[in-house]
Amino acid sequence: MRSPILATRPFEWLLLAFAATLAPYTLWLPIWYSALLYAVLGARLVQRRRFARPWPGWVKFPLLAAILVLVVWEFGDPRSRQTGTAALLGLTALKLIEAERRRDGFLTATVCLFLVSVQFLFEQGMGVSAYMVIPTLLCFLALNECAAPPGTRGGIADEFGRIGRELGLLLLVALPLTVFLFFSTPRLESPLWGTVETPAEGRTGLSGTMSPGSITELIADDSPVMRISFAGEMPPRASLYWRGPVLWHFDGIAWQASRSFLGRSNANTPGPTRAGEADLRYRVLLEPTDRRWLFLLDYASGIPPETLRLIDGQVVHEQPVKQVISYEAAADLDAPVPAGPFIQEQRGEALRLPPQRNPQTLEMARQWRAEIGNNPLAIAGRALLHFNEQPFAYNLSPPPLTRVDRVDQFLFDTRIGFCEHYASAFVVLMRAAGVPARVVTGYQGGTWNPVGQYLLVRNSDAHAWAEILVPGQGWVRIDPTAAIAPERVDRGGQAFAEPSVWRAGGWLEGVANRFDAMRAWWNETIVRFDHLRQRRLFEDFGLDIRDWRQLGLWFGIGMIALALLSALVFWSRRDRREDPARRQYLRVLRRLSRLGVATPDSEGARSLAARIESERPELAGLLRPVCEAYETSRYGQSGQADAQRLEEAVTAFLAGTPRR
């Protein structure tokens, strides 16, 4: 039997459901691809309203081939998660082109529900999770519209009201079941589908290189990077240097990490168990970065497990951080970073400069060396004094550096720059003076959230500073920015960014703090609920989730309790206001339905009896007394005798007809 024609109303609900499902994917899909899919939906809506016929094959098949080719061309690897998801979105949009029957509507709505679940493989944030409730409800509403016979649905307001009432009752069952399964379903050490994959195109943050303007671009970005909770009081802001990539190689324009040090660990530095009793202890909740490096306070006297400390003091994770992670660490604040092994290789790398570049800078640094001698700290102090004495300025919009000798142009011509300008120029001066130096990038400071009691570090707190090698001490931090613009260290990068209404104080800042505290709670409690946390949760109840007997007992008790709750909810759904005559009549209608007789709600009892006499005469003799007694009892001057007569007629009908 062929599926019935899909009416206009359920078809438009399908379009709306898919459009809502597609919306969160536009955060990482190419703009042109998202626009193409929405254009297809819009064209299909106009075409179906004006021309009630499907698109011809000479339009559908070229469009199908074009979408598949463009998806593979854009994302490259056809086996990747992004490529498969983008292709499925395109195929679903094309399915709506030919959706003309009810079967097509059921299939499309089911695929949309699948796409709702697929979205959580890319993003599990609180905002996206809350939004996905909307396309889920729209998908079920579209399924409800597709399943309903034509002409049986009321107005939109009536339908939403009816579905809202039904939804309220179903949530009483669905929410406890969801919570129970979330906390009880055994968690694997690694998901079957791997880690959550947030597309790198939509992510900002520090990279492994630094050039003039690279950090400046992050100042306008308020995206959170990490949240830090301290075991005691928060240390002074001037000591909050969150160490990230260490840059050694300078080509005259940009700084990069040294490839010779990337794979070498510093085995002589203290590990997680060597932290001193007086060291600062803290806990970090790090947002996804797609990079391996972690951010820790200098000097990191205790590093997290499953991490590696490189020779230059940078701490890296075993795998790129593709989802929210949490780690604990300890710090000996403001202590120099130990030089560690391979000291000669470090000195050589930390003194290398591009040949025949920046002659003015080199000449000035050599004069300092001749005047001061071999004293790294004194030479560094002379450079900071030079920045103070000369008319240098700190600005987010410095003039562009266009000459080949860019450090010369900055130190002797423009003299306006941001932290990367000063850190770069300072390290070049130190190297030219014979002092081993390197650039360190990361974050400085942060904003205290009094609601969540943690320090929030944003991309706008990105910073660059320098380290020089001092014999007998190690790598000592020197921040030239603090000598030029101390307010950058005292107030953070937001002191120079465009003013934000969310940071202006008052109730708006309070709302922002509460929202971020909710987001932190979501990441910590929901997103990071792994097998270790689940095991600890069950241990609090005296259960071992690794014992299948205890786990089975837990599931059995939980499912029985949920079944009783479900029975109570569905029992409460019955219409208590329905009169006894109506309940008796419904028993007859249910029996007729089992016998294959259609019983529409719009048909009265007298019309039903007349139709049965012609369609099913063997039932007419038993049904006629029921219909007559029902009309008298329901609409007439009914009494006890009429109710009794209806009950007897119904009993006789049920006894005289088969159950199926």
* Contact partners, residue 559, CB within 8 Å, separation at least 6: none
Same domain for 389 and 279: no
Q: Is residue 408 part of a domain?
A: yes
Cis peptide upstream of residue 299 (ω within 30 degrees of 0)? yes
DSSP letter for 70, please.
H
Interval 623-642: pLDDT, tens: 888 888 888 877 766 567 77
Q: What is the pLDDT of residue 182?
A: 80
Cβ contact 545:535 at 8 Å: yes
Q: What is the pLDDT of residue 613?
A: 84
User: Computed from CA positions of residues 73, 79, 84, 85, in that sequence, does the dihedral angle turn out positive or negative?
Assistant: negative
| pLDDT band per the 50, 70, 90 thresholds, residue 271 | very low
Same domain for 20 and 92: yes
Cβ contact 315:285 at 8 Å: no
**Start-to-end CA span in the chain (Å):** 23
Q: Is residue 532 part of a domain?
A: no
Same domain for 258 and 149: no
Interval 161-218: pLDDT, tens: 566 666 666 677 777 887 888 888 777 665 545 555 555 444 556 777 887 666 666 6
| pLDDT band per the 50, 70, 90 thresholds, residue 554 | confident
Q: Is residue 138 part of a domain?
A: yes
| pLDDT band per the 50, 70, 90 thresholds, residue 269 | very low
The strand ranges marked E within 471-592 are 474-478
Distance CA 226, CA 454 (A): 10
Secondary element (H or E) of residue 452: none
How many domains in the chain?
4
Residue 367 structural domain:
353-435
DSSP bridge partners of 282: 230, 329
Residue labelled with tokens 């700290």: 377
Distance CA 535, CA 541 (A): 10
- The CA–CA distances, whole Å, from 648 to 84, 234, 630, 637 equal 64, 82, 11, 18
Q: What is the mean pLDDT of the chain?
A: 81
Interval 213-242: pLDDT, tens: 666 666 667 788 999 999 888 888 888 999
Same domain for 343 and 403: no
Q: What is the pLDDT of residue 76?
A: 76
Q: Is residue 220 part of a domain?
A: yes
Cβ contact 237:447 at 8 Å: no
Q: Check whether 366 has a pLDDT greater than 90.
A: yes
Q: Check whether 520 has a pLDDT greater than 60.
A: yes
> For the chain, how big is the Rg over CA atoms in Å?
35
Interval 296-307: pLDDT, tens: 998 888 888 888
| pLDDT band per the 50, 70, 90 thresholds, residue 525 | confident
| Comparison of pLDDT for 495 and 79, the residue scoring more | 79
DSSP letter for 601, please.
T
Lowest-confidence pick of 43-47, 272-276, 394-398, 514-518:
272-276
Q: Check whether 429 has a pLDDT greater than 90.
A: yes
Distance CA 25, CA 107 (A): 20
Q: Is residue 185 part of a domain?
A: no
What's the mean pLDDT in 481-485?
83
Same domain for 247 and 216: yes
Alpha helices, DSSP H, located in 220-358? 259-262, 343-351
Same domain for 447 and 430: no
* Contact partners, residue 404, CB within 8 Å, separation at least 6: 252, 357
Same domain for 335 and 285: yes
Q: Check whether 273 has a pLDDT greater than 50.
A: no
Q: What is the pLDDT of residue 302?
A: 86
In percent, the amount of the chain with pLDDT more than 90 equals 21
Q: Check whether 465 has a pLDDT greater than 90.
A: yes
Q: What is the pLDDT of residue 496?
A: 57
* Maximum mean pLDDT: which of 78-82, 582-586, 656-660: 582-586
Q: What is the pLDDT of residue 83?
A: 86
pTM: 0.69
Q: What is the pLDDT of residue 105?
A: 87
Same domain for 228 and 147: no
Cβ contact 484:392 at 8 Å: yes
Q: What is the pLDDT of residue 498?
A: 57
Same domain for 363 and 409: yes
Same domain for 129 and 234: no
Q: Is residue 561 part of a domain?
A: no
Same domain for 28 and 148: yes
Q: Is residue 502 part of a domain?
A: no
Cβ contact 138:17 at 8 Å: yes
Work out the number of other CB atoms within 10 angstroms of the CB of residue 519.
17
Interval 339-349: pLDDT, tens: 877 888 889 99
Which of 153, 176, 200 delimits the end of a domain?
153
The strand ranges marked E within 304-422 are 307-309, 315-317, 325-331, 393-394, 416-417
Same domain for 335 and 358: no
Which of 406, 435, 464 delimits the end of a domain?
435
Q: Is residue 574 part of a domain?
A: no
Distance CA 365, CA 379 (A): 9
What's the one-letter identity of residue 520? Answer: A
